Amino acid sequence: MTISIPDFSSTRVVVAGDVMLDRYLFGSTGRISPEAPVPVVHVQQSDNRPGGAGNVAVNLAALGVTTSLVGVVGKDEAARSLATILGERGIACAFAEAADRPTITKTRVQSRGQQLIRLDEEKAAAMPGDAVASALAGTLAGAGAVILSDYGKGALADVQAMIQACRDAGVPVLVDPKGSDFDKYRGASLITPNQSEFEAVAGVATSDEDLVARARAMMETLDLDALLVTRSEKGMLLVERGGEPLFLSTQAREVYDVTGAGDTVIASLAAAVASGQSLASAAALANLAAGLVVRKIGVATVTPGELSAALHQRGQGGRGLVDLDTLLALVAESHDRKERVIMTNGCFDVLHAGHVAYLEEAKSLGDRLIVAVNDDDSVRRLKGESRPVNALEDRMLVLAGLAAVDWVVPFSEDTPAHLIEAVLPDVLVKGGDYKPEDIAGAREVLQNGGEVRVLAFRDGHSSSRIIDRLRDE
């Protein structure tokens, strides 16, 4: 299945559920306490992160989705810290404050890469009244999807009222379930249990066919539109009402930490659905996102740039035509991953073997290759009125199809100097007999600590020669 990455910038998703504050204390240990046989940790660093439904919201925000978060917090410092962190990520919070409970806080003490102890502050009890359901109802206008993130801490005590409110508003409602009572999620658009959670309710499946049959039976019983079962190293199973089952194999080549993977799955699934993708396409994207997040340590997120890079590595898109703003975001994410960015430019009017060899050599200098292409007017100024033979979009599409090329961006000036100054690649490459100091943008790249390389074109290949031969014929 071909995976596409939607433009999430105009997408809005609401998350409702058990919000938490994950607090980490990092320090060194060098002695045992004289008071008890436990290590003494000298705390040197602390970090607060949104947990539970808050992590689902963070995953959505990382994708560029406009995100609202509904949940329960106490009247305490932890609630204020949580609201500040979420606000800095652009997440709108609609919290119900409860005077009879603290904000759920999980404090982890870690030393030398090991967790020594976890301290939980919580009162896992149903929130009285309909405060959370009312807060959710007030956020539904303009939402493309709603996620109900259940950690069994009481925020979703009135989950049926929430599901009904979403249904009445015509908004798909996706549920990450908890516990063995799935009946409370009756009427949801989709639920996303892992296989252990699913089999605890539906019974152990003896085969893939049996798993599908049990999924269909559960959908019928609970009046669900669809069911997504996450299966760890086996990938995922999506079953839709009236549709064929879709088995998705795992995308993870290396698994370092599955913490928070379920949050990433339902966040990316909801984001894609809210952007107008089919459930099958959304599930494929969520499967890709899960394969990326389990390769990271700790609770983590993925970005559109990481998804794009992963697709490129699989040869399923994720590369191609970009504008300057998108390119700058992709380059920033590549640098965050410690990748080396290469950039070159040209008209590439009639692509030939010499171009391909040149671009492959350029790509060998790093991890990501950007090709900047002269637009049609600038080609005419440089080559004459009979050029280009191929229009800009066609030239860019052909370049984007090459395995060596990651991103193709147009420019309208006679030289790409301003574009190069904006991107500041790690290596600027030009083909021909140029001196490095004569190459447009070279000074800025060098001043930024980058390199400028001149590569030789393959003899006997040129667009002009090919065009002349065609004219002679």
Stretch (H or E) spanning 200: helix 195-202
Task: Say whether 205 sits in a helix, a strand or coil.
Answer: coil
Query: Which stretches of 92-188 are assigned E, i.e. beta strand?
Result: 92-98, 105-111, 114-121, 145-149, 173-176
The answer to whether residue 263 is catalytic is: yes
Query: Which stretches of 53-91 are assigned E, i.e. beta strand?
Result: 66-74
Q: Which residue has the tokens 């290469």?
A: 342
From residue 168, alpha-carbon distances to 24, 172, 182, 188 in Å are: 41, 10, 21, 12
Q: Please state the φ and ψ torsions of residue 330, each to the nearest 5 degrees.
A: -65, -40
**DSSP string for 1-21:** -------GGG-EEEEEE-EEE
Rounded Cα gap, residues 294 and 304, in angstroms: 16
Task: Say whether 258 sits in a helix, a strand or coil.
Answer: coil
Burial class (CB in 10 A: 0-12, 13-18, 19+), 129: exposed
- Nearest-10 crossing angle of helices 261-274, 53-62: 50
Q: Quote the radius of gyration of the chain (alpha carbons, Å).
A: 27
Rounded Cα gap, residues 68 and 138, in angstroms: 11
Active-site pick, 22, 150, 176, 263: 263
**DSSP string for 12-63:** EEEEEE-EEEEEEEEEEEEEE-SSSSSEEEEEEEEEEEEEEHHHHHHHHHHT
Rounded Cα gap, residues 293 and 310, in angstroms: 12
Instruction: Decide: 31 and 39 in contact? Cβ < 8 Å.
Output: yes
Q: In the structure encoding, which two tokens stand for residue 257, read together?
A: 């930490």
Rounded Cα gap, residues 409 and 407, in angstroms: 7
Q: What angle do CA 151, 156, 161 make, to 5 degrees?
A: 150
Q: Where are the alpha helices (DSSP H) in 203-293?
A: 208-222, 261-274, 279-293
Amino acid identity for residue 43 in this structure: V
Task: Say whether 228 sits in a helix, a strand or coil.
Answer: strand
Rounded Cα gap, residues 162 and 146, in angstroms: 10
Active site residues: 263
